[in-house]
């Protein structure tokens, strides 16, 4: 991130799949960027590994005990709104359906073709396009392109 790593915010997110569908949650009206769909997750705290941070965030936000793969599914850096972000996405599974939280007003499982890319949190889009592309082309290396008018 061009020397800005020390100031980058590390964010981790859960890629939770069930029956070929991916879990997304919609940001509640009182949260930043309300109405956008996102992969659940959050920021790492000092001294915390990304998988541990993700398990903690999922417990706090969704009330689930999660199993987080130790290897990241995807990782990338972004610069948005004057700040650098290191984004880490992990395959995750949990023990039961999530609870509704104050952070989200709706959640669901989406097929690759039903992901609401037009209303998706910007940090999540690259990982979700990769996941959806792999499911749709069967190669494990595909991606979904944004629809253009």
Is a pLDDT exceeding 60 seen at residue 145? no
What are the tens digits of pLDDT across the range 8-66? 788 999 999 998 999 999 999 998 889 999 999 999 999 999 999 999 999 999 999 99
d(CA 10, CA 34) in angstroms, rounded, equals 21
Backbone angles phi, psi at 23, to 5 degrees: -80, 130
**According to the 3-state scheme, what is the secondary structure of the chain?**
CCCCHHHCEEEEEEEEEECCEEEEEEECCCCCCCCCEECCEEECCCCCCHHHHHHHHHHHHHCCCEEEEEEEEEEEEEEECCEEEEEEEEEEEECCCCCCCCCEEEEEEECHHHCCHHHECHHHHHHHHHHHHHHHHCCCCCCCCCCCC
Contact 87, 14 (CB under 8 A): no
Look up the pTM and report it.
0.83
Residue entry with tokens 């104050």: 102
Q: Return the pLDDT at 138.
A: 55
Contact 90, 15 (CB under 8 A): yes
Residues 126-140 have a mean pLDDT of: 79
Name the residue among 103, 100, 144, 130 with its Cα closest to residue 17. 130
Residues 116-129 have a mean pLDDT of: 94
β-pair type (37-38, 21-27): antiparallel
d(CA 35, CA 3) in angstroms, rounded, equals 33
CATH for 9-133 is 3.90.79.10
What are the tens digits of pLDDT across the range 93-118? 998 888 877 888 999 999 999 999 99
Which token pair is 41?
Answer: 């997750």
* Choice between 38 and 4, residue whose per-residue pLDDT is larger: 38
Confidence at 135, pLDDT banded by 50, 70, 90:
confident
């Amino acid at each position: 991130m061009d020397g800005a790593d020390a100031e980058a915010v590390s964010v981790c997110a859960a890629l939770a799949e069930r029956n070929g569908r991916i879990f997304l949650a919609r940001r509640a009206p009182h949260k930043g960027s309300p109405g956008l769909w996102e992969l659940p997750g959050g920021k790492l705290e000092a001294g915390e590994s990304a998988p541990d941070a993700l398990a903690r965030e999922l417990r706090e936000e969704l009330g689930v005990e999660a199993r987080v793969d130790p290897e990241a599914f995807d990782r990338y850096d972004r610069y948005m709104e004057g700040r650098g972000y290191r984004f880490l996405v992990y395959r995750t599974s949990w023990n039961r359906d999530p609870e509704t939280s104050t952070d989200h007003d709706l959640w669901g499982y989406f097929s690759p073709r039903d992901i609401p890319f037009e209303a998706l949190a910007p940090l999540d889009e690259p990982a979700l396009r990769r996941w959806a592309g792999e499911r749709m082309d069967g190669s494990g290396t595909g991606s979904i392109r944004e629809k253009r008018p």
